Amino acid sequence: MSNQKICLIGLGYVGLPLAVAFAEKFQVIGFDINSLRIQELESGYDRTLEIEDDLLSSVKSNISYTSDIQDAKDCNIYIVTVPTPIDKANRPDLTPLIESSKIIGTVLNQDDIVIYESTVYPGVTEDICVPELEKSSGMVFNKDFYCGYSPERINPGDKEHTVTKILKVIAGSTPEIAQQVDNLYKQVITAGTYMASSIKVAEASKVIENTQRDVNIALMNELALIFDQMDIDTNEVLEAAATKWNFIKLTPGLVGGHCIGVDPYYLTFKAEELGYKPDLILASRQINNGMSKYIANQTIKEMIKVGKVIKNSNVLMLGVTFKEDCPDIRNTKVVDIIDELKDFDINVDVYDPWVDSNEEKKWYKHGIISNPLDDNKKYDAIVVAVAHKQFKKYTAETYSQLSNGKEVVIDIKNIVPNPTWRL
């Protein structure tokens, strides 16, 4: 397989780590429509912080970056790692996949293989992407070119479970192609591979991974809502229940990011299209989407309890990314808390040491600030929204220093020793 030349389409949280992994064994072209992203990678900087600068430098001789697909016309493997978002109606937006397929078709050659990694509902690769490849290439699927599917499993910000250490599910459009795709990934995935019987099975396996997590977290969130009404500490309940060997211990919280809060809608869309209403999955989505409003309301209630005037009060939001120790702000539900608070004429400052300076411009409307500990501003309430390692170091004195009079500390992530209220 050493004669293979690989093109990665999309250089985000998934594409770049995979491109770097392959670059240790193969010649790689990294393609992205974002010219700024290309410039940064050429200079050896990864804004997602997934790849260290020295690692980018070590594979520099085997990888090049471009926004011109013609630079990849001599590749014979194309791996698509573009986003698969949802629209405002929570319906799949396949535009990035469709556009990627169109441009790949313009450089496709005989016997090339196009492998998709993006999370989709079963059937998208063969029913949506393949026709676009055929149309733009003028070639015939499974005669002139072939397809594979290997769903991404990268966990942004996780330095332990990196791309090469996560077992890879793979599938091909023919048994022979499946074997070729398997052999390709085995070159770089030290955790091994699992060959699914078809592309549709592989697609389905990925979309249910995050659907299962979404449903499980929704149960924890609903329990938290119930126990909060009973004035019972949910975390204490979970600790007690976890003493039984078969209790699955999860914690309540916000469900954001590009995966768990999005992927279930791909499955429910296809299910409803086939005439089946997935009540459990949709109910879970409703519960998880409602947590931001609940947290905002609880924050206001706790402020009222200690006599705070809500209108024009000041609230500090600690963290805005969708998860800890990661700069990823895609589909973060912290923003929904901010919007709810602002509906009550509350001034909200956001501090997040992980947000890239280029991203701050997008978030300026939410009042991103520099380290509040370097300022004298005081806050009527503090919401600990993300469990960044910097915030785990905060002490009771830290919150006292930031507070205006009686402290109101809302702890969403269970990292504050004695908060005013905890989810």
Q: ∠236-316-416 over CA atoms, to 5°?
A: 25
The residues pairing with 92 across neighbouring beta strands, listed in sequence order, are 86
Q: What DSSP string describes 5-41? A: EEEEE--STTHHHHHHHHHTTSEEEEE-S-HHHHHHH
The one-letter code for the residue type at 239 is E
Catalytically active residues are: 259
Are the C-beta atoms of residues 93 and 85 closer than 8 Å to each other?
yes
CB–CB of 178/113 below 8 Å? no
The H or E element that residue 288 is part of is helix 279-289
In degrees, rounded to 5, the angle at the alpha carbon of residue 421 between the alpha carbons of residues 416 and 423 is 85
CA distance 367 to 380: 16
Please give the order of strands across the beta sheet that includes 5-9.
63-66, 27-31, 5-9, 77-80, 113-116, 146-149, 168-172, 193-195
Q: Are strands 168-172 and 146-149 parallel, antiparallel or unpaired?
A: antiparallel
Pairing state between β 193-195 and 77-80: unpaired
Gap between the Cα atoms of 253 and 228, Å rounded: 13
Q: How far is CA 335 from CA 1, 77, 332, in A?
A: 46, 39, 6
